[in-house]
């Protein structure tokens, strides 16, 4: 029988996973809700920025479900979550910086379109802060659950 660990939401890791998922969903909704938002500028930039959001939207809920099903100890014994949070942290900062640069330095862009770009960029940068704090807590949990020297 499957037992759900509802207490995971009260831990820092569970709380930040929920924040990351929610903010990524909002960011995708703002970006995709604006007509041709991800396809209006360079295809390389749009592929990268949309890809970062999709990676975050797929893998972060998988970590949360793993914790929710009670397998947190198995995940915390490996550096997988620490590496994932570090990589997505760097990608979110990069995507936010690229979008912010794109929509703050191009004169003559349509106002609602520019505002959506700045909003998505801001949400990416805020989400990177969540991933950074989650990285800290994941690293602490990994050190507690492994026999590695500090």
Task: State the Cα–Cα distance between residues 141 and 136, nearest whole angstrom.
Answer: 9
Answer whether 19's CB lies under 8 Å from 129's CB: no
Q: What is the pTM of this model?
A: 0.88
CB-based contacts of 86: which residues, under 8 Å, 6+ apart? 135
Q: Parse the chain into domains and list their residue ranges.
A: 10-144
At 69-123, the pLDDT tens digits run 888 888 888 899 999 999 999 999 999 998 888 878 766 666 667 788 889 999 9
Check if the beta carbon of residue 69 is closer than 8 Å to that of residue 4. yes
Percent of the chain with pLDDT over 90: 45
Q: Which residues have C-beta within 8 Å of that of residue 72, sequence separation ≥ 6?
A: 5, 8, 13, 66, 141
Phi, psi of 69 (to 5 degrees): -85, -5
Instruction: Please state, as a whole number, how many other Cβ atoms lie within 10 Å of the Cβ of residue 111.
Output: 7
Measured CA angle at 109 (ends 57, 26), to 5 deg: 20
51-72 pLDDT, tens digit each:
899 999 999 999 999 998 888 8
pLDDT of res. 111: 61
- Angle, CA 127 vertex, CA 117 and CA 102 arms, to 5°: 25
What value, to the nearest 5°, has the Cα angle with vertex 95 and ends 90 and 96? 100
| Residue 4 confidence class, pLDDT cut points 50, 70, 90 | confident
């Amino acid at each position: 029988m499957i037992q759900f660990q509802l207490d995971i939401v009260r831990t820092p890791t569970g709380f930040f996973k929920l924040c990351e998922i929610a903010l990524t969903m909002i960011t995708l909704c703002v970006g995709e809700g604006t007509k041709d938002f991800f396809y209006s500028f360079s295809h390389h930039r749009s592929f990268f920025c949309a890809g970062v959001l999709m990676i975050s939207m797929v893998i972060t809920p998988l970590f949360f479900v793993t914790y929710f099903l009670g397998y947190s100890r198995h995940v915390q014994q490996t550096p997988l979550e620490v590496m994932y949070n570090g990589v997505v942290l760097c990608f979110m900062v990069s995507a936010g910086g690229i979008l912010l640069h794109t929509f703050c330095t191009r004169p003559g862009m349509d106002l609602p379109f520019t505002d959506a770009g700045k909003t998505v960029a801001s949400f990416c940068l805020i989400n990177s802060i969540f991933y950074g704090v989650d990285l800290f807590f994941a690293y602490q949990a990994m050190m507690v659950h492994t026999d590695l020297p500090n």
